[in-house]
Amino acid sequence: MKTGLVLVSLLAAGLALSACAQETRHSGHAAPGGGAPNLHRHDNGSITVRYDNGCVVTYNKDGRRSGSNGCRPGQVERADTAVQEDAQAHGGGGLKFHKRKDGTARVTFNDGCVVTYNRKGDRTGSSGCHASQVERADRAAQNNW
């Protein structure tokens, strides 16, 4: 009788451990949750992405992630994607295309970078820019010409 009771106890303990292991495994691979990312672009060019569950991801005016708080797995990556898609939809974070009356154009960035173009749309110069900004400005000029 003792052997049967020990066997039943071991079986019950094994099932309990198995259930705990499954629960841990599933919670480790939980869906990101929190709803869709809600993106807010501030007047200074910085961006805040919020989720319904309280996750907050912040970005500086250049679109670089500057922090996150209270996020589940996958939410920061989804926020990064939302910021990149928003920047592409608006010609790039902090980028402005200005076509002048004389047919020339300038692309400016919030950080002071300026890229200039002649009447044909050829780049004529840049000032205070990183190479990636010049490339983004060239794409914006081609799309707006």
Higher per-residue pLDDT: 61 or 135: 135
Q: Are residues 82 and 110 in the same domain?
A: no
Residues whose CB falls within 8 Å of the CB of residue 47, separated by 6 or more in sequence, listed in order = 39, 40, 41, 58, 59, 63, 83, 86, 93
Q: Same structural domain for residues 103 and 133?
A: yes
Q: What mean pLDDT is reported for the chain?
A: 76
Determine the structural domain holding residue 127 and report its residue range. 95-144
* Total structural domains within the chain: 2
Domain assignment of residue 138, yes or no: yes
Within-domain flag for 32: no
For the whole model, what pTM was predicted? 0.46
The pLDDT tens digits for 30-42 are: 344 678 999 998 8
The answer as to whether 60 is a domain residue is: yes
User: Would you state the pLDDT for residue 66?
Assistant: 93
Is 60 exceeded by the pLDDT of residue 118?
yes
The verdict on 105 and 71 lying in the same domain is: no
Q: Do both 110 and 83 map to the same domain?
A: no
